[in-house]
Amino acid sequence: MHRDVRSEGISRAGFLAGAGAIGAAAAAGPLLTGTPASAATAGRRDGRGNHEGLTHRGVCYTVGAGETPGTAWSTARMRRDLRAIRHDMHATSIEVTGDGVDRLNATASEAAELGLHIWLQPTLGDRPPSEILDHLAETGRHLERLRRQGARADLSVGCEFWLFVPGIVPGADAQERIRNLMEGNFDPEQMMRRLSAFTARAAAVGRSVFGGNLSYAAAQDDEVDWNLFDIVGIDYYSYFPDRADYVRELRSYLRWGKPLAITEFGTCTYAGAPEQGGMGWDTIDYTKQPPEIKGDLVRSERTQAAYLTELLGVFEEMGLYAAMAFEFVTADAPHSPVPRYDLDMASYAVVKPVKDRFDDPESDWHWEPKQAFHALARCYGRARRR
């Protein structure tokens, strides 16, 4: 997942910068133990052997306490957002992610009421491992109740554990762990053993409380024992000028013969953002008050929409299991008509938050759809009519 990186506290943003270090560490001992299967067996096909497109088309919806009083989580706002996702965006699925048992469960229940397929992914971070697993168990039990009542639901046990679970990589918090990864201040073999052990524990907890499909959201370079899971989950932020290169790369994730879910994909809202991949967010100077966009970025909703549309076409062509655009809204990255204060440019969200009073952290706000929202709505709407 990607959020804006602040100078304080935990952040989910673009820490895929550390994925390169993870990839290098994996060379010390890969975790993959299954027998690879032909990629051709992994996509959905019709009776003539043709791909049928995506099974689930959706968007990531992050729940959390909120960075400021003005962006605090609200049940009423969540319900309005989910209705827009279902009826205006025409999504058939929603990835409910973030932390807080009550927030996650309430959002999952609302999604079930709307008939959305639920991809639940609790991501409590920087807490003791036992608390993270308890958090997973509580949300997983609720999802199982929804599933038994008829909801279509899958459970992801978490996201990029090397970043968020203390004790796998040295560091008191996510930012310190990233610094240690990038500076080489860790033991690769020890890290991989700890990551493997915690992933197995999380999978066991997930199995103990949930009877449906189980998955995990991995960074692109992560080494994961996918034998533990029913669905391969990848946070995907590649950029290639040639469409065929996306297909080539994605096929590598199909070699376990299991369905592939793209648990995140997207880009920011400025010209050249797709080329920045998972680091597109890294263009805000938080040392200034109010925070400012660094450099001379040019806002381009068209760039964001075109990238999303191209990737969706690839996923449909390959018949993948699910694709979740990242993300619906980033409330703490408001839009401004003044370019240097337009934090929404550094956001992956498909709607833009607009504050009533830009300089007031307690100001009320609303969102407005970006071109990316309309592009998704057209793609998802056409697919629903097929």
As to burial, measured by CB atoms within 10 angstroms (0-12 exposed, 13-18 middle, 19+ buried), residue 270 is: buried
The mean pLDDT value for 231-238 works out to 97
Residue 271 lies in a domain: yes
Closest CA to 215 of 101, 118, 328: 118
Residue 241 has pLDDT above 60, yes or no: yes
Top-ranked range on mean pLDDT: pick from 51-65, 122-136, 278-292: 122-136
How far, in Å, CA of 61 to CA of 65, rounded?
Answer: 13
- Please name the amino acid found at residue 279: M
Element spanning 19, H or E: helix 19-26
Residue 73 lies in a domain: yes
Query: Residues 62-98: pLDDT tens digits?
Result: 998 887 787 889 999 999 999 999 999 999 999 999 9
Residue 2 has pLDDT above 50, yes or no: no
How far, in Å, CA of 136 to CA of 156, rounded?
Answer: 9
Element spanning 247, H or E: helix 243-251
Closest CA to 326 of 217, 201, 198, 236: 236
CATH code, domain with 269 = 3.20.20.80
Residue 344 lies in a domain: yes
Query: Residues 26-66: pLDDT tens digits?
Result: 443 433 333 333 333 345 554 334 457 999 999 999 998 88
Residue 58 lies in a domain: yes
Residue 249 in tokens: 């790369």
Distance (Å) of CA 384 to CA 92, 131, 323 = 8, 40, 15
Distance (Å) of CA 353 to CA 84, 147, 220, 287, 331 = 15, 33, 29, 22, 6
> 244: which residues sit within 8 A by CB, 6+ positions away?
none
CA-CA-CA-CA torsion for 113, 115, 116, 119, nearest 10 degrees?
70
The predicted structure's pLDDT at residue 27: 40
The mean pLDDT value for 282-298 works out to 91
Residue 142 lies in a domain: yes
Residue 36 lies in a domain: no
* % of residues, the chain, pLDDT over 90: 74
Q: Are strands 322-325 and 365-369 parallel, antiparallel or unpaired?
A: unpaired
Segments in 333-370 forming alpha helices (H): none
Q: Into how many domains does the chain fold?
A: 1
Residue 295 lies in a domain: yes
Residue 277 has pLDDT above 80, yes or no: yes
The model's pTM is: 0.88
Residue numbers of the domain that contains 354: 15-29+52-385
The position carrying tokens 């020890």 is 190
Query: Residues 340-364: pLDDT tens digits?
Result: 999 999 999 999 999 998 888 788 9
Residue 10 lies in a domain: no
Closest CA to 15 of 193, 192, 220: 220
Other Cβ atoms less than 10 A from the Cβ of 173: the count is 15
